[in-house]
């Protein structure tokens, strides 16, 4: 790929983004999650609220109640929070809220004041949070409910529901472009992303064109059984396994029932393959559930036995456990090794292995405890035997982490220690932290002023790898970062000015000067707009049935000044030390092209082009290595039809005149029997390759898969694989040939695996490193 076609491609994307045809704008305030313990209502159609909205407007005819601004209500035991709400009242039953005349109603602070009876329909918009009577939670952009008939529709929705599977308790999470609530226990979704797990969406996940799941109530055979639980049946069509946003492979349509018990026995998998580093490999895994009470599953154990012709025998034991208040994973391996590592040479010992343990415990008063323990035999074992984990997961750590979450704030404590000398780590001995997220202080001119705070303090110690022959450095550190935000509409725009002050104290800096202070002041503003226009058109390349163009431009200016202690003068513990003087504009532009598609269940809105551009501008080029413009990020999705889609992820360097990152993927899925994927991946100076995959389902029981990839930069094939798959009622058997010229690996592989449709086992990849990478972490605000 030459520079001229690449620049031309970027120019086309930019021109497309500049076609900004505007009809109207919408502005939404930040939303928050629901409080717990809201009381249920018994009378159908009763709408109540604890805290009144900023504006209440009631019309006798045609019987509508308007609630505008920070709405928090209940409807027959359902919790609902949104920016704005409109409720319709059944004719003949319209009533004014007691003690108020039609028009603007000022809140009186009366708890659960009755607004209207006999609500029949309801529309909510803007960061909607909806919790139904069964505890399922839907987060969406817009929601319409037909209260009388128990049905509705949610746009840009995320549904979370508790799920009991063979692998224990977990959460079923469905993120959909559209969710249809067809009955109290039946929901259909289109444009679905689905995963199972409490730790957020993993990097690899499944997308489905269409999914329906039905919740069944607990069995009535033994109503006094405390282990009675609801079950789910899930039907999914048009399934694709994805790595991030890129399609990896097609998955067959499936139906899954959480009550069905699969009789796999003790055998979990049988495997055989060959590689240049390990030689011939053969392995088997066995396992079973652990039940402490009749019918109650506490955990699952697995034993893995492997043999490598160039290394020797190995064995491992895994334990996954999950109870009402805690869950975790113990992962152990032992390897007798007579070989030599490709990148680390001969190991210092023949007895190699690891012990890894992750544990999460919910203590009284809503306190959460996380524990992590990581022990390895030597420097080369982990990256040699677990290369994918070493490259894809957070660095292994040894830590204790406590946190207590309130409505929109959190206090936490972290203590960590390095055990293996070959890791460069920062020990916290310990660190305490307080976070406050968008707390409304008071109203200014009918709009709230929000405060956010991040404060931390403790003793940190930087310990380098022993081979670097560098001394350890430590210091006491206190850091307080505050930010004020005030969002308000200006015509069709939403303007959010902000200002913040950050103070940091260091006991010692990099050159051993003591009692260092760092003060920085940040100010700026964000202006955004959401506008659209509709055309009555049809046909064409995308088979249009009407056309809507949505444009969402956003500009943020950020100015940080007053910092005297620069990053190069401080001990580099973590991201706190990167705070520096800066002036920058962040320019974002998103364009959506939408039309109506006729589906089996009726017409649906379909986004067939989604283009997002983002680029920073630095008025002072010294803030960006002498260049005023940063890299241009381009994300593009084009759906030519339900069968043909194009996805791109590009990062263009204006000054290098080239793409630093370029990922392009095309998927063609004309039927269940044939799926094809092709793509191009480019990382400047490291990787430049094309790949192709085709899956052909010969019949209901047999499938053939062909994969190939080629490195353009190295002028060689990377990985070629052909596999035949036999899909049985309880097992999936696979036989294939794999060649990797780059790693000099080749051989025949055989695998037998049970037909797991969901696997919510707590694996290392799902433990998200909350104490280090994301303090708010999964479950914040729950």
Report the b/e string of 5-24 with b at 16+ CB within 10 A.
ebeebbeebeeebeeeeeee
> Longest Cα pair distance anywhere in the chain, in angstroms?
87
pLDDT for res 79: 85
pLDDT for res 414: 96
Kindly report the pTM of this predicted structure: 0.59
Q: What is the mean pLDDT of residues 262-285?
A: 74
pLDDT band at 289 (very low <50, low <70, confident <90, very high): confident
Identity of the highest mean pLDDT range in 36-50, 124-138, 213-227, 374-388: 374-388
pLDDT band at 164 (very low <50, low <70, confident <90, very high): low
Residue 764 has pLDDT above 50, yes or no: no
Yes or no: say if 99 and 113 are a contact pair by the CB < 8 Å rule. Answer: no
Yes or no: say if 196 and 167 are a contact pair by the CB < 8 Å rule. Answer: no
Higher pLDDT, 106 or 44: 44
Q: For 711-752, what is each residue's pLDDT tens digit?
A: 887 777 777 888 888 876 556 777 887 777 666 666 666 766
Residue whose token pair is 């290392």: 764
Report the b/e string of 591-616 with b at 16+ CB within 10 A.
bbbbbebeeeeeebebebbbbbbbbb
Closest CA to 347 of 337, 335, 333: 337
pLDDT band at 702 (very low <50, low <70, confident <90, very high): confident
Tokens found for residue 667: 């998927």
> Picking from 161-165, 179-183, 315-319, which range would have the lowest pLDDT averaged per residue?
161-165
pLDDT band at 203 (very low <50, low <70, confident <90, very high): low
Phi then psi for residue 5, to 5 deg, are: -60, -35
Yes or no: say if 545 and 589 are a contact pair by the CB < 8 Å rule. Answer: no
Contacts by 295-298 with C-beta closer than 8 Å and gap 24+? Answer: 295/227, 296/227, 297/166, 297/168, 298/322, 298/323
pLDDT for res 774: 28
Domain boundaries, the chain: 47-257, 267-486+748-782
Higher pLDDT, 227 or 560: 560
Tokens found for residue 578: 């990167």
pLDDT for res 682: 86
Yes or no: say if 496 and 466 are a contact pair by the CB < 8 Å rule. Answer: no
> Picking from 60-64, 69-73, 444-448, which range would have the lowest pLDDT averaged per residue?
60-64
Q: For 396-442, what is each residue's pLDDT tens digit?
A: 999 999 999 998 999 999 999 999 999 999 999 999 999 999 999 99
pLDDT for res 761: 31
pLDDT band at 143 (very low <50, low <70, confident <90, very high): very high
d(CA 74, CA 113): 11
Residue 635 has pLDDT above 60, yes or no: yes
Q: What is the mean pLDDT of residues 638-648?
A: 89
Higher pLDDT, 617 or 7: 617
pLDDT for res 105: 36
Q: What is the mean pLDDT of residues 344-349?
A: 93
What integer best gives the mean pLDDT of the chain?
A: 78
Share of the chain above pLDDT 70, in %: 74
Q: What is the mean pLDDT of residues 477-481?
A: 97
Closest CA to 381 of 319, 317, 320, 336: 336
Q: For 676-697, what is each residue's pLDDT tens digit?
A: 999 998 888 777 888 899 989 8
Q: For 109-134, what is each residue's pLDDT tens digit?
A: 333 344 445 678 889 998 899 887 76
Residue 266 has pLDDT above 70, yes or no: no
pLDDT for res 555: 97
Q: For 205-263, what is each residue's pLDDT tens digit?
A: 778 888 887 776 654 444 444 454 566 677 778 777 776 677 766 666 666 655 544 44
pLDDT for res 453: 96
Q: What is the mean pLDDT of residues 489-518?
A: 94
Higher pLDDT, 174 or 224: 174
Phi then psi for residue 664, to 5 deg, are: -130, 130
Share of the chain above pLDDT 90, in %: 39
């Amino acid at each position: 790929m030459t520079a001229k076609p690449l620049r031309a491609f970027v120019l086309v994307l930019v021109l497309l983004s500049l076609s900004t045809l505007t009809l109207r704008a919408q502005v939404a305030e930040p939303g928050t999650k629901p409080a717990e313990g809201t009381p249920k209502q018994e009378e159908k159609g009763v709408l109540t609220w604890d805290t009144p909205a900023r504006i209440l407007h009631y019309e006798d005819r045609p019987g509508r109640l308007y609630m505008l601004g920070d709405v928090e209500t209940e409807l027959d035991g359902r919790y609902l929070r949104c920016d704005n709400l409109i409720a319709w009242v059944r004719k003949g039953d319209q009533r004014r809220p007691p003690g108020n005349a039609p028009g603007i109603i000022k809140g009186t602070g009366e708890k659960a004041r009755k607004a209207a009876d006999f609500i029949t329909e309801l529309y909510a918009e803007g960061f909607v949070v909806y919790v139904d009577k069964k505890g399922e939670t839907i987060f969406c952009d817009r929601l319409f409910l037909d209260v009388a008939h128990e049905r509705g529709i949610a746009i840009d929705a995320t549904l979370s529901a508790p799920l009991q599977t063979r692998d224990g308790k977990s959460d079923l999470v469905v993120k959909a472009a559209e969710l249809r609530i067809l009955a109290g226990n039946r929901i259909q979704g289109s444009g679905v992303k689905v995963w199972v797990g409490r730790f957020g969406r993993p990097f690899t996940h499944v997308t489905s064109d269409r999914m329906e799941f039905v919740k069944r109530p607990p069995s009535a055979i033994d109503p006094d059984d405390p282990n009675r639980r609801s079950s789910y049946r899930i039907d999914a069509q048009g399934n694709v396994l994805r790595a991030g946003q890129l399609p990896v492979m097609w998955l067959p349509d499936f139906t899954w029932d959480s009550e069905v018990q699969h009789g796999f026995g003790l055998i979990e998998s049988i495997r055989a393959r060959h590689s240049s580093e390990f030689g011939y490999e053969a392995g088997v895994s066995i396992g079973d559930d652990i039940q402490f009470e009749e019918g109650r599953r506490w955990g699952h154990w697995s034993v893995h036995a492997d043999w490598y012709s160039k290394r020797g025998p190995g064995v491992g034991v895994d334990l996954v456990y999950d109870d009402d208040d805690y869950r975790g994973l113990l992962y152990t391996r032992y390897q007798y090794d007579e070989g030599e590592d490709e990148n680390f040479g001969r190991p210092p010992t023949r007895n190699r292995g690891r012990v890894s343990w992750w544990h999460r415990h919910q203590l009284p008063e809503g306190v959460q405890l996380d524990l992590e323990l990581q022990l390895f035999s030597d420097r080369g074992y982990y990256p040699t035997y677990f290369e994918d984990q070493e490259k894809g997961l957070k660095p292994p750590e040894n830590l204790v982490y406590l946190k207590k979450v309130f409505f929109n704030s959190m206090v936490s404590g972290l203590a960590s220690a390095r055990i293996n000398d070959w890791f460069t780590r920062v020990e916290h001995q310990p660190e305490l932290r307080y976070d406050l997220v968008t707390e409304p202080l008071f109203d200014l001119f009918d709009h709230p002023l929000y405060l956010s705070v991040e404060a931390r303090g403790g003793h940190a110690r930087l310990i380098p790898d022993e081979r670097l022959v560098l001394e350890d450095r430590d210091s006491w550190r206190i850091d307080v970062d505050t930010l004020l935000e005030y969002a308000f509409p200006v015509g069709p725009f939403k303007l959010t000015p902000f200002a913040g002050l950050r103070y940091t104290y260091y006991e010692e800096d990099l050159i051993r000067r003591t009692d260092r202070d760092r003060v920085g002041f940040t100010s700026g503003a964000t202006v955004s707009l959401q506008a659209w226009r509709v055309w009555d058109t049809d046909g064409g390349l995308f088979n249009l049935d009407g056309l809507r163009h949505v444009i969402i431009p956003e500009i943020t200016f950020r100015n940080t000044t007053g910092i005297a202690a620069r990053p190069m003068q401080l001990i580099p513990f973590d991201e706190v030390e990167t705070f520096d003087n800066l002036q920058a504009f962040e320019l974002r532009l998103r364009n959506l092209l939408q039309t109506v598609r006729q589906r089996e269940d009726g017409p649906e809105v379909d986004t067939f082009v989604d283009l997002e551009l983002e680029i920073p501008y630095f008025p002072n080029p010294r803030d960006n290595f002498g260049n005023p413009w940063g890299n241009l990020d381009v994300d593009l999705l084009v759906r030519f039809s339900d069968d043909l889609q194009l996805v791109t992820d590009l990062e263009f360097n204006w000054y290098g005149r080239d793409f630093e990152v370029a990922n392009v993927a095309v998927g063609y899925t004309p039927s269940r029997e044939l799926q094809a994927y092709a793509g191009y991946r480019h990382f400047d100076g490291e990787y430049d390759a094309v790949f192709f995959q085709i899956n052909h389902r010969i019949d209901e029981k047999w499938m053939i898969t062909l994969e190939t990839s080629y490195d353009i930069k190295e002028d060689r094939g990377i990985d070629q694989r052909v596999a035949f798959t036999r899909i049985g009622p309880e097992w999936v058997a696979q036989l294939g040939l794999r060649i990797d010229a780059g790693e000099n690996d080749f051989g025949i592989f055989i695998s037998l695996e049970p037909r797991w449709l969901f696997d919510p086992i707590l694996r290392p990849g799902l433990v998200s490193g909350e104490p280090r990478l994301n303090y708010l972490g999964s479950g914040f605000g729950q």
